[in-house]
Every structure is written in C-alpha cells, then in structure tokens.
Amino acid sequence: MAVGLRVAAFVLNDRPSVVVTGFANRVVSLTPARHMQLFFVSRTRTMIDRDHYLLGILRIGHETSMRGAGLSLHEALLRTQYKDRRASFGPADLCPLLKADLGLLEEWLAYSEDKRTTGGWYLLRSGEIGRVGDPDSRKFFECLEQAVPDYVVRELDFWAYFQEAG
C-alpha cells in the first residue's frame, strides 16, 4: 500500500535537512540522500500498486471470455474494484501497459468480437469504436493501440454503471 509522504527541505546549522511525515503520524528527519532513496521506494511502490490494479482491469477482457476464467463481467468488475478506482485513471493511463503487452490489445478485440449482447460498446480492428446500435457514437482512431484504451474505459463504465441502475 502506498504511503502518503509530506516533505520539507531546509537548512539547519549550515546542514541540509529533510523532514518527512507519513509514517504513522510521526515526523522523521533524514539526510537528503536517505530521503531521496525513501521517496524513490515510495513512488515505486505507488506505481507498482497502480500498475497492478490497472493490469487487473485490462485483463477483464480475457477473464470474462471462454478462453479465460469465464467470470461474469459483474464479478470481474467487483474483483478489480473498478467503480471504486475509476476516478483515479483514464484511457491515457492504460496506454503504457497496453504497449508493454500487445497481447492485451488482441484480448480486447476478441472480447468485442465475442460479445453476445446489444449493450455496451464495440471495437473494430480498424480502430473504430462505438455504442452498439448507435451510429452517432462512432469514434475513429488511427490504430488499435489508440482505440483500445478508450474502448476499455467506455465499455467497462457502461457495464459498471448499467448494473448499478439495473
């Protein structure tokens, strides 16, 4: 779990000092070098935690397919805490993870092609996305790598909030 740190740098007795709070409400005074190491570890943990849950969200396409775990979309959204975490990310945050694992692009394309419902969004290999049955909703992207992050967020938002209303 990420630790929220507050940092104050100052000079005391001609020596640079850093005060860090966020350790069980204690104040810790560190030398700048030690602080930078600690800050780096904290930022790394934050990024790892965030990447971990974003990857979980990106795997929903596969996990809800017959090739994956066969989870219901409702169950996958609950397991990933999608609605609770949704405000903390957007399509652009998914791009680096998709670039690192191009297989995820194909999983979302397969998810869209395998859909057996008229709800939600669709994704085409050409980079087009849209709401099923609503030609005015169509959006065009230059390539699949640009379309998938937008598609994932729109599709999962639709089902996360549709299930809430339904």
In a domain, 99, yes or no: yes
Confidence at residue 165, expressed as pLDDT on a 0 to 100 scale: 55
In a domain, 73, yes or no: yes
In a domain, 128, yes or no: yes
Distance CA 15, CA 18 (A): 10
Question: How many folded domains does the chain comprise?
Answer: 1
In a domain, 136, yes or no: yes
Residue 123 belongs to domain spanning:
48-165
Report pLDDT digits (tens) over 49-82. Answer: 889 999 999 999 999 987 788 899 999 999 999 9
Average pLDDT for the chain: 79
In a domain, 31, yes or no: no
Report pLDDT digits (tens) over 81-113. Answer: 999 999 999 999 999 999 999 999 999 999 999
Answer yes or no: is pLDDT of 28 > 60: no
Confidence at residue 89, expressed as pLDDT on a 0 to 100 scale: 96
Which of 91, 96, 62, 56 minimizes the C-alpha distance to 77? 56
Find out whether 159 and 73 touch, Cβ atoms under 8 Å. yes
Cα angle 61, 66, 71; round to 5: 65
In a domain, 101, yes or no: yes
Residue with tokens 């869209």: 112
DSSP string, 26-54: EEEEE-HHHHHHHHHHHHHHHHHHHHHHH
In a domain, 154, yes or no: yes
Segment 122-143 mean pLDDT:
95
In a domain, 20, yes or no: no
